[in-house]
Structure 1
Amino acid sequence: MPDTMHVAIAAGGTAGHINPALALAEELRRRGHELTFFGQPTRLEATLVPQAGFSFVPIEVTGFDRSRPWTLATALWRMHRAQRRINDYFDAHGTPNVAVGFGAYVEMPLLRCCHAKGVACILHEQNSVPGLANRLLARKVDCVCVSLPIAIDAFKSRVSAQTQIVVTGNPVRQSVIGASREAGRANNDIPDDAMLLLVFGGSLGARHLNDGLVALKDELLSHTGLYVLHSTGKKDFDRVVAELRLSEEERCRWRVVPYIDAMGEALAAADLVLSRAGASSIAEIAALAVPALLVPYPFATADHQTVNARYLVDAGAAVLLPDDQIDTPAFLESLRSLIDDGERRTSMRQAAKSLAQDRAAMALADQVEGAEALGT
């Protein structure tokens, strides 16, 4: 491995793809390597990547909608044009040592181009169930890195005999891992001696979860010293605020926000989390070792959120509640048992720490640094 490597990364579409890629890039930059991102100019990556201080090369791709067969021609044309754009960039700036894709169609032209040039290629899969782009590319790459051990089986029949499959975990950005309880409490106006329940449903919120929590308002506020930081999602914010009908006194203990920008601080400040079980949420909860009650989104592809949740549940770091039990006494009972049992929460924290999720970016960076020798 050269002292300084040039690593090309493709990640885009959603924060669930982009943030793990940025976490890897931050770790590789800390080790002295050069990074270039490839992504779509109209998607979230075009904002987040430059904000983090990395070079960004815009390319445009689209997926193929099986219900509209005519979209295949457009998808193939844009894929070809994107590969040409990437080749031109490499001719002008040099071919990278390693290429890493984080799922979504935007990775396909980069990894196809690099594979053809003999550049070592790595895939990272955040979820327990692989996405389509990663499934299609698995046979062309040198290494597949997965967040959860259960994902290994999903790739075994899709990779070549030479491809390595490695469990690295799902990288979490240093801004999350490095957050402190003290700063999180101070910035959210939570007393040091209070118990904080943090509630969120992912970047878009979770309407059913919000409804269930609204129904438990009086019960939760009856717990002396319990504070709630409740992220509703932007679309559901006004409705939830109206239905909660919090008094001025209640608003001191039940903070409702549409979205939490500083999620690391919120997690560091929390004693208990109630959330969905998306890949990023699972990774961040585990990295900060916060006890959690997980309610997987029931309509996720192949029910992958339930499989994601099992990673923490089986380790003893979380409790799982099916979505269809939100409207039953089981929801309150599950919350109450975790709120009332400090020893259990302490045990769950220790279980989460044993997963070493806070080291996932380092583990993936190690694979990238060792990957160049795998290229053909």
Structure 2
Amino acid sequence: AAGGTAGHVNPALALAEELRRRGHAVRFFGETRRLEGTLVPEAGFDFFPVRVSGFDRSRPWTILTALAHISREEGRLVKSFRSDDALRPDVAIGFGAYVELPLVRAARRLGIPVALHEQNSVPGLANKRSARHASLIAIAQPAVAPVFERAGAAPNAIRLTGNPVRSSVLAGDCARGRAALGAGEGETILLVFGGSLGAAHLNERLASLKSALLAIPGLRVVHSTGAAGFEEARSALALTDDEAARWDVRPYITEMGDALAAADLVLSRSGASSIAEIAALAVPSVLVPYPHATADHQTTNARFLVDAGAAVMFADADIDGVDFERELIGLLTDAGRRDAMRAAAHGLVADRAAEKLADEIEALRA
């Protein structure tokens, strides 16, 4: 069960792809009206719809409706699993959103092994509530293990698997990506993305650095602004035709695997999926955690790469300073340093996360 955001759904799809490759049947549980209702059928997996509602912390009374919906759907799944052996799973896994609760609770009632996957360094309420009864808690960040132990998880159930990345991203090709981005031989590519959430400050700072960046010989900037900030960023950049030939500004990037494979340096936020994809493609990076993330979890996410020597990190409040400009330009002009960072990222073996998680799921079934 996975839903709500791409950060939950894409790792689940990456695991599903690996399990399908190994010959297993995979069925998703989620809401048709949310992102999973589109992405899962597009990927060719069976989709079993459930209807639940989230808990809004700013409106405490919504907990009553949320619990009623979860209880109703849990009962429906228990009844379905008991009456249809083909529907009953061998293992159930939730990826951290409230949509997982009917599935993992129904599985627990029926003695079906329950697994959880946590993408972030700060677990959500659904995973913390389910941790006590999970046979496996797969984590992407080492720092999250003590949080689950305090939530009642068995220490031997916690495994560091990493955050699975979809095969379409892992298949990213440098030559194909450089051709699609129009990069000439010998050009250096700076890839910038932040998503629609919290990208505005990055976009503003890039606009202020336009002259300094374009003064670097052979530099090409590929700048994904996020859909919400595209027009504002394009206006702030005010690119001439000559500048636009080297500065590709767009609302989003469709072929992220190829773009990452082609990039010499990434500048981005540090959401769990971004960190996983950057690590899996072993791209040197400058990370600026989104400052309003819950419990500042993007800073902890970023440390996974920073502590390995694969990235540098700046607080959002510091990117307007001269140190940020000096570091960014220094990395763009120092291929040797970028090579060392890339080697450090390769050492994380982050591209095998889906395989590791699939191994753990198979062990539960055995």
Q: How does 1:1-376 map to 2 (within 5 A)?
A: 10-90=1-81, 91-92=83-84, 93-161=86-154, 164-204=157-197, 206-373=199-366
TM, length-normalised to structure 2:
0.97
Structure 1: which 5+ residue stretches go unaligned? 1-9
8 Å CA contact 2:331–2:338 kept in 1: the answer is yes
Higher mean C-alpha displacement, 199-208 vs 308-317: 199-208
> SS of the residue aligned with 1:115?
helix
Shift of 1:160: 4.2
Paired residues, number: 364
> Following the alignment from structure 2 to structure 1, what is the Cα–Cα distance between the partners of residues 309 and 16?
31
> Following the alignment from structure 2 to structure 1, what is the Cα–Cα distance between the partners of residues 129 and 196?
27
> Following the alignment from structure 2 to structure 1, what is the Cα–Cα distance between the partners of residues 253 and 287?
18
Residue identity in the other structure for 1:237: F
> SS of the residue aligned with 2:348?
coil
Identical counterparts, % of pairs: 56
8 Å CA contact 1:296–1:306 kept in 2: the answer is yes
Shift of 1:339: 0.7
Per-residue CA deviations over 1:6-44 (Å, capped at 9, x if unaligned) read xxxx00000000000000000000000000000011100
8 Å CA contact 1:119–1:372 kept in 2: the answer is no
8 Å CA contact 2:196–2:228 kept in 1: the answer is no
> Following the alignment from structure 1 to structure 2, what is the Cα–Cα distance between the partners of residues 70 and 209?
37
Shift of 1:169: 0.3
Shift of 1:298: 1.1
8 Å CA contact 2:192–2:266 kept in 1: the answer is yes
Per-residue CA deviations over 1:270-304 (Å, capped at 9, x if unaligned) read 00000000000000000000000000111111111
> Following the alignment from structure 1 to structure 2, what is the Cα–Cα distance between the partners of residues 186 and 161?
49
Residue identity in the other structure for 1:269: A
8 Å CA contact 1:295–1:320 kept in 2: the answer is yes
> Following the alignment from structure 2 to structure 1, what is the Cα–Cα distance between the partners of residues 116 and 196?
24
> Following the alignment from structure 1 to structure 2, what is the Cα–Cα distance between the partners of residues 57 and 21?
15
8 Å CA contact 1:180–1:268 kept in 2: the answer is yes
8 Å CA contact 1:202–1:278 kept in 2: the answer is no
Residue identity in the other structure for 1:40: E
Structure 2: which 5+ residue stretches go unaligned? none
**Over the residues paired in the alignment, what is the CA RMSD in angstroms?**
1.3
TM, length-normalised to structure 1:
0.94
8 Å CA contact 2:15–2:357 kept in 1: the answer is yes
8 Å CA contact 1:142–1:162 kept in 2: the answer is no
Q: 1:158 and 1:240, CA in 2 relative to 1: closer, same or farther beyond 3 A?
A: same
